[in-house]
Amino acid sequence: MSEKKADLHIHSTHSDGVLTPVEIVRMAKEAGLAAVSVTDHDNVAGVPEARSAGERYGVEIISGVELSANDEGTDIHMLGYLVDVDSESLRGHLNMFRERRLVRAERMVEKLNKLGLPISIEAVLSKAGPAAIGRPHVAEALVDEGLVLSYEEVFRKYIGYGCPAYEGKYVISPERSVEIIHAADGLAVIAHAGVHLKEETIQKVLKCGIDGIESAHPKHSPDTVARFSRMARELGLVETGGSDYHGDTRGTTPFADGTVPYEWVENLKAAALRKKKGGGSSNISE
């Protein structure tokens, strides 16, 4: 059992990844993984596709989603595991997020047009396809239209943080993101907290009712991994991890780089069962 591995943080074409859920599962099988979680930004549409492929390839699929939160100007990402993807509450919130993402993209396009880059929202939407639209799709459209030389240039000069065409995304509080995940019978896990979050922010999030910490992440140093592992044990939280894979064109780590023991999957399921028996999830409305 200890030799089995899992990757609990992967993005597909349903958000800002370059692989379809089916391709992710196929690659997971080739990599010898026992389980994966497709954790798209504000979107769970890829989970059913992954489950269908998982049945064919013999790979266990853990339902997942990644929500964007914000605390006093600091972005915080919250992973939701074992969520009910058919939850009306969850789907309602995700639909609202998608609508706000579209408005954000339209505003970025307007800013880019004023900067002399004649990109259209239709070109951006064609890149997004069924995905929750984001900055990577704006960048891809600009590159394909020949308006910039590279994907990296778009972020560096136009739509990166603090750049002239940057538009802040719609966000919710960490507490709200936890509520949304719990309402869908899921477990809320703070993502890659060691990458950019200050200690005071981490401590605040720990008081929001989260269920776990993503300790294993390619951008976490060994000391950070050890610290979060110790924190999880002391606070009785589950420990998760994964590659946070988006695709080679995103400049991210290789597929399955950052796998975790399958035991962590079992711990997730056990924690979800305990929460369900204890009536831990809540009912919320928009």
DSSP 203-233: HHHHTTT--EEEEE-TTS-HHHHHHHHHHHH
Confidence bin at 251 (pLDDT 50/70/90): low
> What amino acid is encoded at 256 in this protein?
A
- Residue 278's pLDDT band (cuts 50, 70, 90): confident
- Average predicted confidence (pLDDT) for the chain: 92
Q: pLDDT at residue 1 above 60? A: no
Structure tokens at 72: 């006093």
Is 248's pLDDT higher than 70? no
Give the three-state DSSP class for 142. helix
Strands 212-216 and 238-241: parallel
Query: Domains in the chain, start-ordered, CATH in brackets?
Result: 5-85+173-277 (3.20.20.140), 94-159 (1.10.150.650)
pLDDT at site 282: 40
What's the average model confidence in pLDDT over 219-225? 95
251: how many CB neighbours lie within 10 A of its CB? 10
Q: How far apart, in whole angstroms, are the C-alpha atoms of residue 14 and residue 18?
A: 9
Mean pLDDT score, 268-281: 82
Burial of 117 (0-12, 13-18, 19+ CB in 10 A): middle
The residue among 251, 242, 249 whose CA lies nearest residue 220 is 242
